[in-house]
């Protein structure tokens, strides 16, 4: 029977048809929930897709950054009406958005300030729930020659093999290195372990005539720069 079917977009009132609204007025006028409702396509017999999408956003505290960190299992298990197919579609859209933000690094990119480093690594590190440690390898003109992930760790710490780090630098004939890792907790201030590791790398780099230009800690919406704070 029709009343047992999911409520499709064509059955909605004119004001609740986000597809038509997008075609007539453009995507920018739609709310986050309306855009998500287009992705999921239908609601349930008791709730429109827009209403269901609003509950998806409520699950993420109306924050797309939080939504991007959820897994399909978390979505489907916690929101009635969101099965795995709908959950996977939402997460796939979040991943596409992340990739769009991602700065594609060529070998001609020049690092001029700490915000350049932040913009490069935010798509990789901003949404992670665990720590990763990366490096940018630069030539004498501060042009990027490589972007390398050194280690992945736990929620509060990752183990960095300093010898491996310098091997990558020597293999690419880098004259400068920028260190970067994330703090999933959102607390940007460097820990004692962060400072100890940075000093260890700086001391080792001196023997190789390699400059350690910065160590940037990535948070969700901001960053901390050792160079900006005169900690190098």
For residue range 14-66, what is the model confidence (pLDDT) as tens digits? Answer: 456 888 888 888 888 889 999 999 998 888 888 888 889 999 999 888 888 78
Mean pLDDT of 85-99: 87
Spatial contact of 213 and 173, defined as CB atoms under 8 Å apart = no
Output the average pLDDT for the chain.
86
Hey, what domains does the chain have and what are their CATH numbers?
2-101 (no CATH), 114-225 (3.40.140.10)
**% residues pLDDT > 90 (the chain):** 49
Q: Between residues 177 and 8, which one has the greater pLDDT?
A: 177
Helix or strand (DSSP H, E) at 224: strand 223-225
Compute CA distances 161 → 30, 46, 149, 182, 200, whole Å.
47, 55, 11, 17, 11
pLDDT digits (tens, 9 = 90+) for 16-30: 688 888 888 888 888
């Amino acid at each position: 029977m029709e009343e047992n079917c999911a409520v499709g977009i064509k059955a909605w009132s004119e004001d609740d048809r986000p597809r038509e609204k997008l075609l007539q007025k453009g995507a920018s006028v739609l709310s986050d929930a309306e855009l998500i409702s287009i992705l999921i396509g239908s609601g349930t017999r008791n709730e429109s897709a827009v209403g269901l999408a609003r509950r998806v956003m409520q699950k993420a505290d109306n924050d797309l950054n939080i939504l991007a960190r959820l897994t399909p299992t978390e979505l489907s298990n916690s929101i009635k009406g969101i099965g795995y197919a709908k959950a996977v579609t939402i997460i796939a859209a979040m991943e596409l958005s992340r990739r769009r933000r991602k700065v594609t690094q060529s070998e001609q990119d020049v690092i001029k300030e700490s915000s350049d480093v932040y913009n490069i690594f935010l798509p990789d590190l901003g949404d992670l729930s665990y720590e990763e440690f990366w490096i940018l390898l630069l030539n004498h003109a501060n042009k990027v020659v490589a972007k390398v992930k050194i280690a992945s760790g736990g929620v509060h710490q990752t183990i960095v093999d300093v010898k491996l780090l310098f091997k990558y630098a020597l293999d690419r004939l880098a004259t400068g290195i920028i260190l970067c890792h994330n703090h999933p907790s959102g607390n940007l201030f460097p820990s004692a372990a962060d400072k100890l590791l940075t000093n260890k790398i700086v001391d080792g780099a001196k023997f190789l005539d390699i400059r350690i230009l910065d160590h940037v800690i990535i948070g969700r919406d901001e960053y901390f720069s050792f160079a900006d704070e005169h900690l190098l």
